[in-house]
Protein backbone atom coordinates (compact mmCIF):
# COMPACT_ATOMS: atom_id res chain seq x y z
CA UNK A 1 0.00 0.00 0.00
CA UNK A 2 1.38 3.40 -1.00
CA UNK A 3 0.40 6.22 1.35
CA UNK A 4 1.03 9.73 0.12
CA UNK A 5 1.19 11.95 3.16
CA UNK A 6 1.29 15.03 0.96
CA UNK A 7 -2.46 14.87 0.29
CA UNK A 8 -4.11 18.27 0.66
CA UNK A 9 -7.65 19.51 0.85
CA UNK A 10 -8.04 23.15 -0.11
CA UNK A 11 -10.40 26.09 -0.57
CA UNK A 12 -9.74 28.62 -3.31
CA UNK A 13 -11.52 31.84 -4.22
CA UNK A 14 -11.81 33.62 -7.54
CA UNK A 15 -13.10 37.20 -7.50
CA UNK A 16 -14.12 38.30 -10.99
CA UNK A 17 -14.24 42.04 -10.28
CA UNK A 18 -13.93 42.87 -13.97
CA UNK A 19 -17.20 41.13 -14.80
CA UNK A 20 -20.34 43.13 -14.03
CA UNK A 21 -22.21 40.25 -12.54
CA UNK A 22 -23.92 39.80 -9.17
CA UNK A 23 -22.22 36.39 -8.85
CA UNK A 24 -18.63 37.54 -9.15
CA UNK A 25 -17.27 35.41 -6.26
CA UNK A 26 -16.55 31.76 -6.94
CA UNK A 27 -14.94 29.25 -4.61
CA UNK A 28 -13.50 25.79 -5.16
CA UNK A 29 -13.17 22.76 -2.95
CA UNK A 30 -10.35 20.52 -3.99
CA UNK A 31 -8.02 17.68 -3.20
CA UNK A 32 -4.50 17.28 -4.56
CA UNK A 33 -1.14 15.67 -3.96
CA UNK A 34 0.66 18.41 -5.92
CA UNK A 35 2.16 21.69 -4.76
CA UNK A 36 -0.67 24.25 -4.59
CA UNK A 37 0.95 26.75 -6.96
CA UNK A 38 1.50 24.00 -9.53
CA UNK A 39 -2.10 22.82 -9.06
CA UNK A 40 -3.49 26.31 -9.68
CA UNK A 41 -1.22 26.82 -12.69
CA UNK A 42 -2.46 23.49 -14.06
CA UNK A 43 -6.14 24.50 -14.14
CA UNK A 44 -5.88 25.40 -17.87
CA UNK A 45 -8.53 28.10 -17.78
CA UNK A 46 -9.95 29.09 -21.13
CA UNK A 47 -12.29 31.59 -22.77
CA UNK A 48 -12.57 34.91 -20.94
CA UNK A 49 -10.72 33.37 -17.95
CA UNK A 50 -7.59 32.37 -19.91
CA UNK A 51 -4.53 33.72 -18.15
CA UNK A 52 -6.51 34.75 -15.05
CA UNK A 53 -5.02 32.06 -12.80
CA UNK A 54 -3.29 34.86 -10.87
CA UNK A 55 -6.73 35.95 -9.58
CA UNK A 56 -7.17 32.66 -7.72
CA UNK A 57 -6.55 33.18 -4.01
CA UNK A 58 -5.68 30.37 -1.59
CA UNK A 59 -8.05 30.59 1.37
CA UNK A 60 -7.33 27.32 3.15
CA UNK A 61 -4.88 24.44 2.61
CA UNK A 62 -4.60 21.49 4.97
CA UNK A 63 -2.43 18.37 4.75
CA UNK A 64 -4.33 15.27 5.72
CA UNK A 65 -4.13 11.59 4.98
CA UNK A 66 -7.95 11.78 4.73
CA UNK A 67 -7.96 14.73 2.29
CA UNK A 68 -9.89 12.89 -0.43
CA UNK A 69 -12.68 11.93 1.98
CA UNK A 70 -12.76 15.41 3.52
CA UNK A 71 -13.12 16.95 0.06
CA UNK A 72 -15.98 14.63 -0.85
CA UNK A 73 -17.86 15.33 2.38
CA UNK A 74 -17.21 19.09 2.13
CA UNK A 75 -18.65 19.09 -1.40
CA UNK A 76 -21.81 17.40 -0.13
CA UNK A 77 -22.07 19.95 2.68
CA UNK A 78 -21.77 22.80 0.16
CA UNK A 79 -24.58 21.27 -1.91
CA UNK A 80 -26.76 20.79 1.20
CA UNK A 81 -26.18 24.42 2.15
CA UNK A 82 -27.56 25.40 -1.25
CA UNK A 83 -24.40 26.74 -2.85
CA UNK A 84 -24.99 26.72 -6.58
CA UNK A 85 -22.41 24.96 -8.76
CA UNK A 86 -20.75 27.13 -11.40
CA UNK A 87 -20.21 24.37 -14.03
CA UNK A 88 -18.23 26.70 -16.31
CA UNK A 89 -15.72 24.72 -18.37
CA UNK A 90 -13.70 27.94 -18.77
CA UNK A 91 -12.52 27.33 -15.18
CA UNK A 92 -10.37 24.45 -16.47
CA UNK A 93 -9.62 21.15 -14.79
CA UNK A 94 -11.85 20.51 -11.80
CA UNK A 95 -14.50 22.98 -13.02
CA UNK A 96 -17.29 20.95 -11.39
CA UNK A 97 -15.93 21.73 -7.92
CA UNK A 98 -16.51 25.51 -8.16
CA UNK A 99 -19.45 27.12 -6.36
CA UNK A 100 -21.01 30.60 -6.33
CA UNK A 101 -19.94 31.53 -2.79
CA UNK A 102 -16.96 32.94 -0.91
CA UNK A 103 -13.79 31.06 -0.06
CA UNK A 104 -14.59 31.38 3.62
CA UNK A 105 -17.94 29.65 3.08
CA UNK A 106 -16.09 26.76 1.40
CA UNK A 107 -13.52 26.75 4.22
CA UNK A 108 -16.44 26.37 6.63
CA UNK A 109 -17.64 23.32 4.68
CA UNK A 110 -14.16 21.78 4.92
CA UNK A 111 -13.94 22.40 8.67
CA UNK A 112 -17.41 20.89 9.14
CA UNK A 113 -16.27 17.84 7.15
CA UNK A 114 -13.26 17.50 9.47
CA UNK A 115 -15.64 17.49 12.47
CA UNK A 116 -17.77 14.77 10.88
CA UNK A 117 -14.76 12.58 10.09
CA UNK A 118 -13.22 13.03 13.55
CA UNK A 119 -16.55 12.15 15.17
CA UNK A 120 -16.75 8.97 13.07
CA UNK A 121 -13.18 8.01 14.01
CA UNK A 122 -13.93 8.45 17.74
CA UNK A 123 -17.20 6.55 17.40
CA UNK A 124 -15.46 3.59 15.72
CA UNK A 125 -12.76 3.58 18.39
CA UNK A 126 -15.37 3.27 21.16
CA UNK A 127 -17.20 0.45 19.32
CA UNK A 128 -14.00 -1.60 19.02
CA UNK A 129 -13.23 -1.42 22.76
CA UNK A 130 -16.68 -2.54 23.97
Q: What pLDDT tens digit does each residue of the chain (130 aa) get?
A: 565 568 999 999 998 876 666 678 999 999 999 999 999 988 889 988 888 888 899 999 999 999 999 999 999 999 999 999 998 899 988 888 999 999 999 999 999 999 999 998 888 877 665 5
Please give the sequence-ordered ranges of beta strands (E in DSSP) within 47-124, or none if there are none.
56-63, 98-99
Judge contact between 78 and 29, C-beta under 8 A: yes
- Nearest to 117, CA basis, from 54, 64, 41: 64
pLDDT at 125 (0 to 100): 74
Q: 63 and 110 in contact (C-beta within 8 Å)?
A: no
pTM of the model: 0.86
Question: Could you count the other beta carbons within 10 Å of the beta carbon of residue 8?
Answer: 20
- Residue 3 is predicted with a pLDDT of 58
| pLDDT given for residue 123 in this prediction | 85
pLDDT for residue 20: 63
Amino acid sequence: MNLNLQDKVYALELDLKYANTPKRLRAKIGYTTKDMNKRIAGFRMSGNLKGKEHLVKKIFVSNSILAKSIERIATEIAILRGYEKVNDKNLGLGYTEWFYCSGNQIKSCILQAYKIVNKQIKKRGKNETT
